[in-house]
A = this chain, B = another copy of it.
């Protein structure tokens, strides 16, 4: 609240470059260096020298964030109080343009026996092509329920996404899923009785499941469906309203555009997954925006794969593309990650994330490299991710003094 009251209009431009899962651990197989240490990064090195370094804690000490909480923190929304349901995240990840009031659920095709008992929760792991065919069949047969549109999007294997769109829907609804085989599919119900909105969603879910099961009757093995993680798209105050920023999100993967959409950013898809393609979009959107969030996925994927060499290569490719971004002369350039994805752990972790901030107003730490150890000694110190936005706004001259 303090931040919003201090935000100023300004012409300065902020770039937030997120290398997903950037932070790492010393890697025994590679001289106890981290990927950032091992990478050859002449442009990052030069930048580090005139930047302030530090470390971000995404959620809280010891807490490993998913992609949603990781990015919400970077965007200045406390991930412990700004909750995004599983269904909503799944829908955002599937590229569905959720609107305020939409309710989303994760869904599976499953196998039911003659009595309606679930015999396989994943319908024999049908191929994605079958999933797409079944989703198309359902979409063709099913219309509206009451005044609610039910929208479907096929995913990988047996997975798909269900979105309810219509007036007066709530997201606090139980799963239409027994969570194990050998049981019938339970009806959804409002988690707290007396909420007309949640009760309406539960009615629509149950009518949809009933009708869909009829449509699937002749199918095998996917003759049923399970819905879980029902949740309502949250309504957060957006960047324009909170920070007087016209914000753009440039991300190849829909999940990250989706989370950015919750912050009211305009969404842009680059021509490829690399930094160079993303920076081309930054150039295009430069005049129309004050804040440009750029997402690079490769670092996280390499970390998840446990591939040190690949993570180094992604970092080096970002470094090689960096001059194009620098040529735009952003007033504030921040490079960081949404969490660590150590190669040795093959997954997200809780370890603090390196962060770099370059601006004419930053403390120039004089480090010769940008990596975990240098960042530990950086002048930004250790920050919660949710506080990064204040630091960026400050370095952009976009925050008024607090008090006289």
Contact = CB atoms under 8 A, between A and B. Distances in A.
Interface of A: 2-3, 6, 25-26, 32, 55, 59-70, 79-80, 84, 86, 89-90, 93, 342, 345, 348-352, 361-364, 366, 372-373, 376-379, 381-384, 387, 389-395, 399-404
Contact of A90 (B61, B66, B404): B404
Count of chain copies: 2
A352 B377 contact: no
Given A379-B372, A404-B68, A62 B393 contact: yes
Contacts of A84: 403
B62 A391 contact: yes
Given A63-B2, A393-B62, A364 B25 contact: yes
Contacts of A399: 62-64, 350
Given A60-B387, A62-B390, A404-B90, A32 B382 contact: no
Given A363-B26, A364-B25, A64 B394 contact: yes
A376 B377 CA distance: 7
Contacts of A387: 60-62
Given A84-B403, A401-B66, A404-B68, A55 B381 contact: yes
B381 A376 contact: yes
A356 B11 CA distance: 38
B381 A382 contact: yes
A366 B32 contact: yes
Interface pairs A-B: 10 shortest CB-CB: A62-B390, A66-B403, A62-B394, A69-B403, A61-B387, A62-B391, A66-B404, A89-B404, A381-B382, A350-B394
Contact of A394 (B63, B379, B403): B63
Contacts of A66: 401-404
A363 to B, nearest CB: 6
Contacts of A392: 62
A348 B62 contact: no
Contacts of A2: 59-60, 63, 80
Contacts of A382: 381-382
A69 B402 contact: yes
A366 B64 CA distance: 24
A188 to B, nearest CB: 20
A384 B381 CA distance: 12
A373 B213 CA distance: 66
A384 B350 CA distance: 16
A399 B59 CA distance: 13
